[in-house]
A and B are shown apart, each in its own frame.
Chain A
Amino acid sequence: MARRAHPAAGFRRVLLAELRQIGARPGLMFMLAPFPLLLFVLLAAVFQLGLPRNLPIAIIDQDRSTLSRQMVRIVDATPEVAVAFEEATLSEGRQRLLSGEAYAVVLIPPRTERDVLAGRRPEVVLFYNNQYMTPGSLVARSVGGALGTVAAGISVEARVARGADVESATQAVNPVPIRQSALFNPSLEYVQFLLAAVMPTVLQIFIGASAALSFSRDRQGIAGLGKSLRLGGTLVRTAVGKLAPYTLAYLLVLWGADALLFGPMGARFGGSLPFHLAYGVVFVLASQMLGAAAALVARDTVSALAAVGVITGPAFGFTGLTFPRLSMNGFSDVWADLLPVTHYLELRTDNILRGAPLDISVPAFLWLAALALVYGGVTLLLLWRHGRPSQVTATEAGQ
């Protein structure tokens, strides 16, 4: 009767028991907030400089003419690359690539200037390391652009020599210019892009693992889950009471990281703040339910953690932030939909980066909520089964 009169009492008892457990474990306390924030700072430091600058390349100038020296100068002047090595032969240039010292080699063959003047269209070759795709393609783009500028200059001169005026010659060099702008994230900031995506993915591991630890600790304990269930009174109150401290801690970490990102680090926030907070809450809940369900399926704590690790560890590849979902195989596409972080990142992109109207985000939000409900349902079901073994045996004995 007393329990019914104070429906919050069961919740409070479980909550206090859980807080005592956390308090007794410094490792767990460290994992709740300091460790994820530390990782955030580490990742922020990795991407701190935004776009890479002065990536080293090698130049093989076999022409040694005014034109070739001009090319070297213009290439070196682009902010993304720096001419770090001047080599005599292609094999020396190749060695720079193999040792990882240079990302690209530019070969200016002998007689380049003479051939240009004679209208023989000589060839300058840019070899770049596409195994290191991010820096490689960045270097290729800027060096290619710089060499293109040199070629355009020559083309303008040739046209002027043929009697064109400078204005029309300049236009003729690039007849179909592309005014390219990114619709969102126009500065193509890596901080916005990677850090904002990596942090929730790492947090999903923490959130899932903490929920898994909480439930499997109870299952391993002498009293078992039964004790927590008796404390809570009902399944829902027990689950909520156990998970509440973690929900709160990780929401603070999630929002704390966002505060750093949009505050001191200067990322732009272009969406609705209440909505951002709302899907943050659902994301944390869904990840917790995923971890709790895994813990109740697994036999012991180590397998529970391993299961969470297997599900959440490789999640980043599946979110489609690096390699897009539209190009994934069927399995990956389905798997991606089962991970809370996929939908969370989509909602983030829609809301913060794109400032999309809310109705665009409804499907992703429903997905995220559905995941929370399904994983939560599985958790409650398993909790109910594991929590009352005595009752089952009692009925069996009665039959």
Chain B
Amino acid sequence: MIAAVFREIVAALLAIWTDKGARSTMLGATLFFSVFFPQPYLNEVVRDMPLAIVDQDGSTLSRELIRRIDAADAVAVARYAPDMSSARLLFLKREVHGIVIVPPQFERDLLAGRAAPIAAFSDGGYFLLNSVMSSALSNAARSLGAEVQVGRLTASGVDMAQALAVVEPLRVTTVPLFNPTGGYASFVLPAVFVLILQQTLLMGIGNLKAGRRSAGGLSTFADALVYVGLYSLWAGVVLVLLPWVYRLPRIGDVAVMYAVVVPFLAAVTAMGIAVARLIPTKEGVIFFLVVLGMPLFFLSGVSWPAEAMPWLLHALAFAIPSTTAVPALVRVNQMGADLQSVEATILTQLALCLAYTTLAVTVDWVKRKPSA
């Protein structure tokens, strides 16, 4: 019995190696995508996003405000425009990605204790640029405003501590956790890597199994063992080694990670075998999976909160292993979640594995029946 299993395992390994399609997806594509996909995000944060300034005041304080805006890492004052229409043109040509207008009498109003508003036009088509600009501006405006206010109060004879207590009676400190710099690669890659594992594993199984008859329970079981084993190694490369290479934050316990990874891979393998028995052609399976990559990423709830999806869609998405495994593995690896926090996901994956195994067996049974 053990010898038979061993023989089947060797056969399964050989099958991966000799099938060109399986070799290139399960060995080549996994590595290729994990190196290729991160490229756009590797600089992590936006630096020196160019801004255009229309300084209609030309005063000491307006220049001080502009200096403080320029001092932010994320933005840089790139152009001074004489008026809004020329600034707008720079914007349309994509030479700048935001416009700040300091109106006339900015300094006079500010020193007189009146509100001295500034106008900012950001890029509504690009969310990241939009939020980068708004935080750089509000920091500059708040610090300058508070300084002027404290200055006014102390000039009228209030002592420093009291002046501060009037201007800022309650300090609100905001602490970003787990991805402190707000790096985009740190945000998107840990999730994408899990998805790459799932998609290339499914494609590999599609290559090997699509349109073929089941070679019996024992053989299929040995195949599954090999796929899960091989991809457990890949999980180490993609979820532990690559984050280290790319310097992404990773604080998780590897043992807890594998407690999620192994049931996840088992569920994906069972799903792959079931799909391969349902879709008869290799081309069909591969195409289906390539196209589905992006929607699956959004369904995982990492970039778009699951709370904001219709519940029915979210419920249906539970049938795909990545939907729950992606957030769970991100929580373990990047946030340091313990076993107890991901229990539900592990159970979900085991249930999916069981369900897809049943489906695969049923499909095979139905297909055999007419010929028998």
Question: B49 near A: Cβ within 8 Å?
Answer: yes
Complexed CA–CA distance, A25 and B128 (Å):
43
Closest CB-CB distance, A392 to chain B, in whole Å?
27
Judging by beta carbons under 8 Å apart, are B173 and A178 in contact? no
Judging by beta carbons under 8 Å apart, are A144 and B172 in contact? yes
Q: Name the CB-closest residue of B to A179.
A: B119
Judging by beta carbons under 8 Å apart, are A176 and B341 in contact? no
**Which among B10-18, B177-185, B258-266 touches the partner chain?**
B177-185
Complexed CA–CA distance, A312 and B36 (Å):
12
Cβ < 8 Å to A, chain B residues 154-213: 161-162, 164-180, 182, 184, 186-188, 190, 207
Known contacts: A144-B174, A186-B124, A356-B92. The answer to whether A46 contacts B295 by CB under 8 A is yes
Judging by beta carbons under 8 Å apart, are B115 and A116 in contact? no
Q: 0/1 per residue, A66-104, Cβ < 8 Å to B? A: 000000000000000000000000000001011110010
**Which among B215-223, B297-305, B354-362, B363-371 touches the partner chain?**
B297-305
Cβ < 8 Å to B, chain A residues 41-58: 42-43, 45-49, 51-56
Closest CB-CB distance, B211 to chain A, in whole Å?
12
Chain B interface secondary structure, helix, strand, loop or mixed? helix
Cβ < 8 Å to A, chain B residues 1-48: 20-21, 24-25, 29, 32-33, 36-37, 39-43, 45-47
Judging by beta carbons under 8 Å apart, are A39 and B291 in contact? yes
**Which among A151-159, A244-252, A382-390 touches the partner chain?**
A151-159
Judging by beta carbons under 8 Å apart, are A52 and B36 in contact? no
Judging by beta carbons under 8 Å apart, are A129 and B177 in contact? yes
Question: B56 near A: Cβ within 8 Å?
Answer: no
Contact of A302 among B127, B134, B177, B286 (CB under 8 A): B286
Contact of B40 among A53, A332, A350 (CB under 8 A): A332
Complexed CA–CA distance, A123 and B207 (Å):
59
Q: Name the CB-closest residue of B to A314.
A: B37
Judging by beta carbons under 8 Å apart, are A45 and B309 in contact? yes
Question: B335 near A: Cβ within 8 Å?
Answer: yes
Judging by beta carbons under 8 Å apart, are B171 and A121 in contact? yes
Judging by beta carbons under 8 Å apart, are A328 and B283 in contact? no
Give the most central of A132, A198, A206, A310: most B CB within 10 Å: A132
**Which among A16-24, A133-141, A253-261 touches the partner chain?**
A133-141
Known contacts: A144-B174, A148-B172. The answer to whether A48 contacts B310 by CB under 8 A is yes
Q: Inter-chain contact count A-B, CB under 8 Å? A: 333
Known contacts: A45-B310, A53-B308, A158-B166. The answer to whether A324 contacts B126 by CB under 8 A is yes
Question: A127 near B: Cβ within 8 Å?
Answer: yes
Q: Name the CB-closest residue of A to B148.
A: A175
Judging by beta carbons under 8 Å apart, are B286 and A178 in contact? no
Closest CB-CB distance, B67 to chain A, in whole Å?
14
For B283, list chain A residues within 8 Å (CB): 213, 301-302, 305
Complexed CA–CA distance, A270 and B207 (Å):
46
**Which of the four size classes fits the interface of chain B?**
35 or more
Q: Name the CB-closest residue of A to B342.
A: A99
Q: Name the CB-closest residue of B to A96.
A: B341
Contact of A180 among B45, B93, B137, B207 (CB under 8 A): B137
Known contacts: A43-B298, A45-B309. The answer to whether A179 contacts B118 by CB under 8 A is yes
Judging by beta carbons under 8 Å apart, are A182 and B174 in contact? no
Known contacts: A27-B284, A155-B169, A180-B134. The answer to whether A134 contacts B122 by CB under 8 A is no
Complexed CA–CA distance, A46 and B299 (Å):
7
For B319, list chain A residues within 8 Å (CB): none
Judging by beta carbons under 8 Å apart, are A121 and B169 in contact? yes
Cβ < 8 Å to B, chain A residues 182-227: 182-186, 188, 190, 193-194, 198, 201-202, 205-206, 209, 213
Contact of A175 among B40, B122, B145, B341 (CB under 8 A): B145
Q: Name the CB-closest residue of B to A186.
A: B124
Complexed CA–CA distance, A119 and B167 (Å):
10
Complexed CA–CA distance, A99 and B337 (Å):
7
Judging by beta carbons under 8 Å apart, are A122 and B171 in contact? yes
Q: 0/1 per residue, B324-361, Cβ < 8 Å to A? A: 00011011001111100100000000000000000000
Judging by beta carbons under 8 Å apart, are A305 and B341 in contact? no
For B145, list chain A residues within 8 Å (CB): 174-176
Closest CB-CB distance, B149 to chain A, in whole Å?
6
Question: B141 near A: Cβ within 8 Å?
Answer: yes
Judging by beta carbons under 8 Å apart, are B125 and A305 in contact? no
Judging by beta carbons under 8 Å apart, are A354 and B40 in contact? no
For B173, list chain A residues within 8 Å (CB): 123-126
Question: A6 near B: Cβ within 8 Å?
Answer: no
For B313, list chain A residues within 8 Å (CB): 42, 45-46
Complexed CA–CA distance, A56 and B293 (Å):
28
Question: A360 near B: Cβ within 8 Å?
Answer: yes
Q: Name the CB-closest residue of A to B99.
A: A183
Contact of A151 among B39, B113, B130, B168 (CB under 8 A): B168
**Which of the four size classes fits the interface of chain A?**
35 or more
Known contacts: A39-B291, A95-B341, A193-B125. The answer to whether A302 contacts B141 by CB under 8 A is no
Judging by beta carbons under 8 Å apart, are B169 and A175 in contact? no
Question: A294 near B: Cβ within 8 Å?
Answer: no
Question: B129 near A: Cβ within 8 Å?
Answer: yes
Question: A313 near B: Cβ within 8 Å?
Answer: yes
**Which among A7-15, A235-243, A273-281, A315-323 touches the partner chain?**
A315-323
Known contacts: A31-B287, A124-B171, A309-B290. The answer to whether A183 contacts B91 by CB under 8 A is yes
Question: A306 near B: Cβ within 8 Å?
Answer: yes
For B126, list chain A residues within 8 Å (CB): 320-321, 324
For B164, list chain A residues within 8 Å (CB): 121
Known contacts: A130-B180, A137-B131, A349-B125. The answer to whether A47 contacts B42 by CB under 8 A is no
Cβ < 8 Å to A, chain B residues 80-134: 88, 91-93, 97, 99, 110, 113-131, 134
Judging by beta carbons under 8 Å apart, are A132 and B305 in contact? yes
For B122, list chain A residues within 8 Å (CB): 180-183
For A324, list chain B residues within 8 Å (CB): 46, 49, 97, 126, 128-129
Cβ < 8 Å to B, chain A residues 314-373: 314, 316-318, 320-324, 326-329, 331-332, 335-336, 349-350, 353-354, 356-357, 360
- Besides A54-B307, A185-B125, 7 other A-B contacts (C-beta < 8 A): A98-B341, A121-B168, A126-B173, A179-B120, A302-B207, A306-B24, A322-B127
- List 5 tightest A-B contacts by C-beta distance, closest first: A182-B124, A185-B124, A119-B165, A175-B145, A52-B308
Interface residues, chain B, CB within 8 Å of chain A?
A: 20-21, 24-25, 29, 32-33, 36-37, 39-43, 45-47, 49-50, 65, 88, 91-93, 97, 99, 110, 113-131, 134, 137-138, 141-142, 144-146, 148-149, 161-162, 164-180, 182, 184, 186-188, 190, 207, 281-284, 286-287, 290-291, 293-295, 298-299, 301-305, 307-310, 313, 327-328, 330-331, 334-338, 341
Q: List 19 A-B pairs, Cβ < 8 Å.
A: A27-B281, A123-B170, A123-B173, A130-B182, A135-B305, A140-B176, A158-B165, A168-B113, A175-B145, A209-B290, A303-B21, A303-B24, A306-B286, A320-B40, A323-B40, A323-B128, A323-B188, A327-B49, A329-B42
